[in-house]
Amino acid sequence: MSDFDYDLFVMGAGSGGVRAARISASHGAKVAVAEEHRVGGTCVIRGCVPKKMLVYGSMFAEELGHAENYGWDIEGKSFDWKRLRDFVNNDVDRLEGLYEKTLQSHEVDLFAERASIAGPNTVKLASGREVTAKKILIAVGAWPAMPDFPGVEHCISSNEVFHLEEKPNCLMVVGGGYIAMEFAGIFNALGSEVTVVNRTDRILRSYDEQIVDRMLHIAMGRGINFKMHSKIAKVEKTDDGCLLVDLGDSNPLRVNQVLIATGRKPKTDGLGLENAGVAMDEKGAIKVDEYNRTSCQSIYAVGDVTDRVQLTPVAIREGHAFADTVFGNNPRTVDYDHIPSAVFTQPPLAGVGLTERDAKNQYGNVKVYSSDFRPMKNMFNPHAERGHYKMIVDEASEKILGIHMIGPESPEILQVAAVAVKAGLTKQAFDDTMALHPSMAEELVLLK
- Binding residue ranges: 52, 175-182, 263, 304
The contact mask relative to ligand NDP for 173-202 (x = CB under 6 A, - = no) is --xxxxxx-x---------------xxx-x
Q: Which residues of 394-416 are buried (b: 16+ CB within 10 A; e: fewer)?
A: beeeebbbbbbbbbbbbbebbee
Which helix (H) or strand (E) is 119 found in, with range?
A: strand 115-119
- Closest CB 401 distance from ligand NDP, rounded Å: 21
DSSP 120-176: TTEEEETTS-EEEEEEEEE---EEEPPP--TTGGG-B-HHHHTT-SS--SEEEEE-S
Task: Give me the residue whose beta carbon is nearest to ligand NDP.
Answer: 177
Site stretch for ligand NDP (CB under 6 A), options 106-114, 171-179, 235-243, 248-256:
171-179
Residue placing its CB nearer to ligand NDP in the complex, 131 or 203? 203
Is there a contact between 390 and 368 (Cβ–Cβ < 8 Å)? yes
Is there a contact between 10 and 135 (Cβ–Cβ < 8 Å)? no
Among 34, 115, 245, 343, contact with ligand NDP (rule: CB under 6 A): 343
The contact mask relative to ligand NDP for 130-169 (x = CB under 6 A, - = no) is -----------------x----------------------
Residue 291: phi and psi, rounded to 5, are -100, 20
Residue placing its CB nearer to ligand NDP in the complex, 121 or 198? 198
- Provide the 10 A C-beta neighbour count for residue 423: 11
Using CB under 6 A, which residues numbered 298 to 337 contact ligand NDP?
310-311
How far lies 23's CA from each of 203, 269, 312, 360, in Å?
A: 38, 28, 17, 41
The verdict on 344 binding ligand NDP (CB under 6 A) reads: yes
Site stretch for ligand NDP (CB under 6 A), options 11-19, 245-253, 260-268, 373-381:
260-268
- Give binding residues for FAD as ranges: 52, 304
Residue placing its CB nearer to ligand NDP in the complex, 232 or 243? 232
Is there a contact between 136 and 299 (Cβ–Cβ < 8 Å)? yes
Question: Could you confirm whether 320 is annotated as catalytic?
Answer: no
- Closest CB 248 distance from ligand NDP, rounded Å: 13
Is there a contact between 341 and 329 (Cβ–Cβ < 8 Å)? no
- Provide the 10 A C-beta neighbour count for residue 203: 23
- Give binding residues for NAD(+) as ranges: 175-182, 263
Using CB under 6 A, which residues numbered 202 to 241 contact ligand NDP?
202-203, 205, 231
- How many of the chain's residues bind ligand NDP (CB under 6 A)? 25
Question: Distance (Å, rounded) from C-alpha 386 to C-alpha 439?
Answer: 14
The verdict on 257 binding ligand NDP (CB under 6 A) reads: no
Question: Distance (Å, rounded) from C-alpha 431 to C-alpha 435?
Answer: 9
Residue placing its CB nearer to ligand NDP in the complex, 99 or 178? 178
Active site residues: 437
Kindly list the residues in this chain that would bind ligand NDP in the complex (CB under 6 A): 147, 175-180, 182, 198-200, 202-203, 205, 231, 261-264, 310-311, 341-344
